[in-house]
Structure 1
Amino acid sequence: MTESTYKCVNCGEKASALYRTYGPSVLKLTKCENCKGVVDKYIEYDPVIVMIDLVLMSKEAQRHIIYNTEFKSYWKLFIILIMLETYGVWRNDSLFNIVINTVCDIRNNSTINSTHITLPIKISVPEPWSSDCKGWVQEDKEAMDLFIWEKDFYIQFLSIFAGITVFITTIHLLMKFFKNFCFQNEVSLISLMKSFSLSNMSLLFTLPMLVWGNNDTPPETRILHYLMVFIYSFVFFYNVFRVLYESPKTVTAFILSISYFAKYMTTFHMTPFIRRITS
């Protein structure tokens, strides 16, 4: 890590160093020239405290991880979280699946976790999308061949990966576009990947339902749980990208909403497409 990448966790101002050493066991934390506070207080904090502050969406903790630490294992976290998201969709146990089952009017019993919401009005699916809706209708996994079951997981993994790629690309390109109209920070691909992996850790809150949810779990409980996780995830991404790009609030929320839409639309169309070409 080069010195120019250090930033004050309080105000985001660049710093030449995080601390100065005055002996084998003596060091002094650097003061920020802009806000006059300590550049990075988390250097002396236990990692558990840092994690708690991250869960509480502290911008100071986010700046500490993104700018003032090595965080070399972000790509491992990136892969693990993709597999977790894939598992939820493959198991038909996610907010994304609930929306698809409702909009496409899918009432199959592919898993015990299949949830369908009865809406007061019928939603008409555009004709080009109707074939993709049919592509999400699955057979009963209990009756499927083990190889087909495993193959479907890999299909979902590729589909989720494509959606995440579109999500990251959309955010970065739109942020660069809006940079011409308002001041924003110059962001490298590595910093973007670190920020995405950090924000996507909110998916870990889906684990309780994925692990302990069963056929006795009411659909309302399942929907409420995943909806709360999605809202928390959206706010987490919003805060992290505000820290990363230093972009205005409205611009960040607008771009994040478009990126989420692009991600889920890509996943929705990609899964039936991959199934067709691999069948």
Structure 2
Amino acid sequence: MADTKPYKCVNCGEAAAALFRNYGPSVLKLTKCEECKGVVDKYIEYDPVIVMIDLVLMSREAQRHVIYNIEFKSYWKLLIILIMLETYGVWRSDSLFNIAINTMCGIQTNNTVNMTHLSLPINLSESELLRNSCLAWTHEEKTEDNDLFIWEKDFYIQFTSTFLGIVMFILTVQSLMKLVKPVTSQREILYKCPVVVTALILAVSNIVKNATSFHITPLMRSYAL
């Protein structure tokens, strides 16, 4: 039997039969949600650029619009753009991830002189597990004598590493969501879980993501030499 309510209200998540009603060649009226009494999906009248901006801002309504109420077309490009932006920040040593690495490994160069540096009571880079990775994250100074091809190659390596980190983030979230099924009534959507559970899942997933990028990047650089 076909689903008679294939859409979702972007405000409350309630199922809806239609997003709008057609009253004539040029007359459309947006459907109201039976549960929250708001417009089922306001984004059908919005420019795609506005939708993408709201997606970047992690708008729950925009996420529901993309997932439930439209067919995926060009929104996959947003993922590539976001990965490139994150990659560029790391590649330029201008991100929170770099601050964490520089603090953990004790990296202090001309490239990091203007960055925030936190002091730790212990030197984590003395650990055998982290020593080789820390050495690989110590970049050469960028001067006019550097080969531009090497820096371009390093950007592609960092892009691949960032992508693999995001893949691990998604897999970790999915795995942890399956583990918490017995203790939560909301089993499908992360932000419907209790706040503590959501925070723990996101924290663990981000740790896995950053750890993956931290260890994969030096490994790829060693093979690319």
TM-score, reference length from structure 1: 0.69
Partner of residue 178, structure 1: 180
1:137 and 2:134 aligned: no
Structure 1 CA distance for aligned equivalents of residues 79 and 57 of structure 2: 21
Partner of residue 199, structure 2: 253
Partner of residue 42, structure 2: 41
Partner of residue 115, structure 1: 115
Structure 1 CA distance for aligned equivalents of residues 106 and 67 of structure 2: 42
Structure 2 CA distance for aligned equivalents of residues 163 and 276 of structure 1: 18
Give the Å deviation of 1:46: 6.0
- More displaced, 112-121 or 65-74? 112-121
Give the Å deviation of 1:42: 3.8
1:9-88 equivalences in 2 (<5 Å): 9-44=10-45, 58-88=59-89
Partner of residue 208, structure 2: 262
- Quick one: structure 1 residues 265 and 17, their matched pair in 2 at CA, closer, same or farther if it must change by over 3 Å? same
The structure whose RCO (Cα within 8 Å, separation 6+) is larger is 1
Partner of residue 100, structure 1: 101
Cα pair 1:82 1:160 within 8 Å, conserved: yes
Cα pair 1:93 1:113 within 8 Å, conserved: no
Cα pair 2:11 2:38 within 8 Å, conserved: yes
Give the Å deviation of 1:186: 4.0
- More displaced, 146-155 or 26-35? 26-35
Give the Å deviation of 1:122: 3.5
Give the Å deviation of 1:101: 1.1
- Quick one: structure 1 residues 50 and 73, their matched pair in 2 at CA, closer, same or farther if it must change by over 3 Å? closer
Structure 2 CA distance for aligned equivalents of residues 179 and 133 of structure 1: 38
> What SS class does the counterpart of residue 180 from structure 1 fall into?
helix
Structure 1 CA distance for aligned equivalents of residues 90 and 133 of structure 2: 16
Structure 1 CA distance for aligned equivalents of residues 188 and 159 of structure 2: 31
Structure number, greater radius of gyration: 2
Q: Which amino acid aligns with 2:64?
A: R
Q: Which amino acid aligns with 1:269?
A: H
Structure 1 CA distance for aligned equivalents of residues 54 and 83 of structure 2: 24
TM-score, reference length from structure 2: 0.83
Q: Which amino acid aligns with 2:181?
A: K
Give the Å deviation of 1:112: 6.8
- Quick one: structure 1 residues 5 and 116, their matched pair in 2 at CA, closer, same or farther if it must change by over 3 Å? same
- Using the aligned pairs only, state the percent identity: 61
Cα pair 2:103 2:120 within 8 Å, conserved: no
Cα pair 2:177 2:187 within 8 Å, conserved: no
Render the CA deviation track for 1:75-132: whole Å, top value 9, x for unaligned: 21111221121111111111111111111011123x3776361516344343211111
- More displaced, 2-11 or 54-63? 54-63
Give the Å deviation of 1:66: 3.4
Which residue, out of 194, 209, 217, partners 1:271? 217
Structure 1 CA distance for aligned equivalents of residues 213 and 119 of structure 2: 23
Q: Which amino acid aligns with 1:145?
A: D
Structure 2 CA distance for aligned equivalents of residues 154 and 120 of structure 1: 31
Give the Å deviation of 1:163: 0.7
Structure 2 CA distance for aligned equivalents of residues 54 and 83 of structure 1: 16
What is the total number of aligned residue pairs between the two structures? 221
Q: Where does the alignment leave 5 or more consecutive residues of structure 2 unmatched?
A: none
